[in-house]
Amino acid sequence: MEMNRICDLFDIQYPVIQAGMIWCSPWQLASTVSNAGGLGIIGSGSMYPEVLREHVEKCKQATDKPFAVNLPLLYPNIEEHIQTIIDYKVPIVFTSAGNPKTWTSKLKEHGIKVVHVVSSAKFAQKAEAAGCDAVVAEGFEAGGHNGREETTTMVLIPQAVQAVQIPVIAAGGIGTGRGMLAAMALGAEGVQIGSRFAATIESSAHENFKNAIVEAGEGDTLLTLKELVPVRLMKNKFFNEVMNAYTNKATKEDLAGLLGRGRAKKGMFEGNLDEGELEIGQIASLINEVKPASEVFNEIVLEFEAAKKELQSPNFNFKA
């Protein structure tokens, strides 16, 4: 694969980034993806400060390649996470769910590369103005927290690419080499893949959740709870309760009460498939097996190369 700006920026071989998903992205997954030649990310949103310190330490022992930490800006003890990242010299941070202005300059003062996750071209410009090195443009197909405007990856990527000079990493609905090639054809210089890596051996998701991802078919996820924070969930008992609440004209407060605390942990980490919140992308319907992350990674890269060759072949034309 030729070098591009994302490979240069992160000093990685392939522009394939594993998303830092809450409850699913421990040091085992991040270091495996980094060792395979991509960028692995530890998901710090679900980690208490001492837990993040342990994961960063272990990740450093498991790989000498660059890795990143995902930092949701709405995280309650964010100063402690920032300190951990600085103390351990984590080279790259992906921020999400908040204003990129707040922490970007402090991280950059310490030589840390900063990438912000956005759901619109307008927010991509804000991230660029805040000094971010790249953006992840995440479309409507993505699992978990999502944009309010439901812009699909297909529509979002070319707009984000037009709006900013910094490189754009595409996310949302990408889990295969062909999907990666499509995103690059739209102008992305890298891809961020979440759901496919949630269903790997190294993911810290509960077995029940991994199996549910494998079982999920077309139409089994929907974006909901827009009044709180829009989130794409797998349909289950809890999801149906949310739907019933809407039918009964629930207020924002009713919905917050129904959601309660720790639903995501219950579903994704403890494996309670009825009562938990199961955050996963539409691509779950294309995931048919729980595999080692390195195998998933290699398949994506090989399929990307094969599909690229196929499109370049003289046999690929529009004549009958």
Q: Closer CB to ligand NDP, residue 172 or residue 179? A: 172
Q: Closer CB to ligand NDP, residue 37 or residue 144? A: 144
Q: Closer CB to ligand NDP, residue 93 or residue 264? A: 264
Question: What are the residues binding ligand NDP (CB under 6 A)?
Answer: 22, 45-48, 72, 74-77, 96-97, 144-145, 261-265
Task: Give the tokens for residue 118.
Answer: 């956005």
* Residue 42 · residue 30 · CB < 8 Å: yes
* Residue 190 · residue 167 · CB < 8 Å: yes
Least distance to ligand NDP from the beta carbon of 36, Å? 23
Reduce the DSSP state of residue 219 to 3 states and report it.
coil
Q: Closer CB to ligand NDP, residue 113 or residue 116? A: 116
Radius of gyration for the alpha carbons in the chain, expressed in angstroms and rounded: 19
Least distance to ligand NDP from the beta carbon of 46, Å? 5
Residue nearest to ligand NDP (CB): 45
Least distance to ligand NDP from the beta carbon of 135, Å? 14
Distance separating alpha carbons of residues 17 and 27, to the nearest angstrom = 14
Please compute, for residue 234, the number of CA atoms within 13 A of its CA located in the half-sphere on the CB side: 29
Least distance to ligand NDP from the beta carbon of 147, Å? 11
DSSP 177: H
Least distance to ligand NDP from the beta carbon of 138, Å? 9
* Residue 181 · residue 142 · CB < 8 Å: no
Least distance to ligand NDP from the beta carbon of 265, Å? 4
Least distance to ligand NDP from the beta carbon of 238, Å? 12
Q: Closer CB to ligand NDP, residue 58 or residue 265? A: 265
The phi, psi pair for 40, rounded to 5°, reads -90, 145
| Degrees to nearest 5, angle at CA 98 with 94 and 102 | 80
Q: How far is CA 225 from the centre of its chain?
A: 19
Q: How far is CA 271 from the centre of its chain?
A: 20
The pairing of strands 231-234 and 92-96 is unpaired
CA diameter of the chain: 62
Least distance to ligand NDP from the beta carbon of 127, Å? 14
Residue 127, CA distances (Å) to 60, 98, 160, 168, 257 in order:
28, 10, 11, 11, 33
Q: Closer CB to ligand NDP, residue 210 or residue 263? A: 263
Q: Closer CB to ligand NDP, residue 45 or residue 179? A: 45
Q: Closer CB to ligand NDP, residue 206 or residue 263? A: 263
Beta bridge partners of 138: 171
